[in-house]
Every structure is written in structure tokens, then in C-alpha cells.
Amino acid sequence: MQNTYTKHSEQPYASHTAYLEIAKAFDRLTYKSIYIFDCIQRKIEYISNHRFFLHNHTPEEIIEMGEGFFHTFIKTEDQPIVNQANEAGFAFYAALPESERKSYTLAYNFHLVDKNQNTLLVNHRLTPLLITNEGKIWKTLGMISLATNNSSGNITLTKDGDNSILKYDIEADQWIGHSKIALSEREIQILRFYAQGLTINGIASVLNLSADTIKFHRRNLLQKLEVNNINKALAYATACKLI
């Protein structure tokens, strides 16, 4: 994970430990892998004990590897994408008013590679956790989960409470604004029933609609979310807080 910031001041590190306990508590509640990265000391400070992300290493071993972990286990072809995503994301953060820097989340996909050269496409999200006295990003909170689509990249920036999304065009080297996907109330209903394990006929019965009507809404859902099955639709909608 690249960040061009260097150490700007001596921070009272010992006085900022509450966030670690919060991270550990959050870690116990989620299936996703989280980590905290210190952008000034250039080290991983905390990482989840999640099997799929650690590649059979312990959290302590990953912390010892530091940034080398990302270079070792990210697919070679994806390294330029990851570097460009981080450089563009941190440059964007640097240009923001200080008051807005904690409002944005950077996200992108890349492949993890294990020792047997098996690959796993994951989604990586990170957001500023602590800011230095000079307004620079000090620590970031990162999250790794299974990707909901089939390709590396998909670099985005989202702002908390905002209905727009910025997508990074690698070729043009610029952020392009888009509207977030909006689901209808019926589509949200149907997704929630799928999450509960109901079938098409089961959802139709609960909503007093025909199975063909449920199929119609499902087709619209898949098209809107640009996925090819309802499981991916659920994963995408959950990750993007659409339901």
C-alpha cells in the first residue's frame, strides 16, 4: 500500500490506543478481515486473524512482514493497479479540506496469490482513521473481503452520506463522478427476502405477487448491479449499503 507522506511531527502515539480496542471489538463482529496501517511509521499495526487473507501466516508474522506482505501476496499483474489506486486515492485525500478527509472511502479489487499460485479476487477498502496535527493521514483502517465482480481494478471513492460515487479512469488518470445505484422499494424487499433464504415462489407468496413479477424485478436488479446472479447481487448490495 503506497502513500507518499513522510513523518511530519512527533505524535504522542501512546495516548492514542482506544482505537485498537475498538478495532478488535469490530473484528469480532465481522466476517471480513480488517487491519490498521500506520502511514507515518510505515507499518501494519493490527490485522485480523482471518485464514483466507493471512495465507496460513499468523497475524504477528504479517505485522513483521509489514508492507512486504502486500508485495509478496498480490498478483504481479495487479501490482500496478494497486499502486495507481493508492497514489490516486491519497492524492485526492491530500487535496481535500482537512474537515472532509475522514468522510471518504477508497476501494478497489485485486488478486491475492498463495504459495501454490492459487488466486483469490478480493475487495480492498480503506479510510482515514487518524489525522496528524498537520492534517496528513496518520493511520488508516482497511478491510478485505471477497470481491463481488470478476475483475481487478474497479477503483472508487465514496463519501459518507453522499449519493454520488467517483470512479477512477486509469487510462485518463482522473476521477469521474457517477450517481450511486438506486434500488426501488420493491427491489430492496426482494433482496431482503432472498437474504432470508426465500425462493422465487416463496417471495411471490409473501408479497402476493406472481412468480413472473418477482423474476422481472430480479432481472432488473441484476442489470442495475451489473452482476449475473442473486448471490452476487446480495453481496454487492450489502457492501454498498443498498439494503
- Domain parsing of the chain, residue ranges: 13-179, 185-239
Residue pair 140/102 in contact by the 8 Å Cβ criterion = no
The share of the chain scoring above pLDDT 70, in percent, equals 93
Please tell me the predicted confidence (pLDDT) of residue 16. Answer: 59
User: CA 213, CA 150: separation in Å to the nearest integer?
Assistant: 29
Residues above pLDDT 90, as percent of the chain? 47
Please check whether the domain covering 185-239 is classified as CATH 1.10.10.10.
yes
Domain 13-179, CATH homologous superfamily name and number: PAS domain (3.30.450.20)
Q: Give CA 189 to chain center in angstroms.
A: 25
Give me the chain's average pLDDT, please. 86
Residue 142's region, left for phi above 0, alpha for psi from -120 to 50, else beta, is: beta
Q: Residue 14 pLDDT more than 60?
A: no
Cell of 12: 504522542
Chain centroid offset of residue 171 CA: 22
The Cα 31–Cα 58 span in angstroms is 17
Q: Mean per-residue pLDDT for 67-86?
A: 89
The pLDDT score that the predictor gives to residue 225 is 87
Q: pLDDT, tens digit, for every residue of 158-186?
A: 998 888 889 999 989 999 998 888 889 99
Report the residue count for the chain: 243
**Residue 9 clears pLDDT 50, i.e. is over it:** no
Cα–Cα distance for residue pair 238/108, rounded to 1 Å:
16
Q: Which has the closest alpha carbon to 156: 180, 138, 137?
A: 180
pLDDT band at 206 (very low <50, low <70, confident <90, very high): very high
**CB of 230 closer than 8 Å to CB of 238:** no
Task: Give 237's pLDDT tier (boundaries 50, 70, 90).
Answer: confident
Lookup: cell for 140:
488508516
13-179 matches 185-239 in fold: no
Q: How confident is the model at residue 134 (pLDDT cuts 50, 70, 90)?
A: confident
Q: What is the pLDDT of residues 24-55, one digit of tens each?
A: 899 888 888 999 999 999 999 999 988 767 77
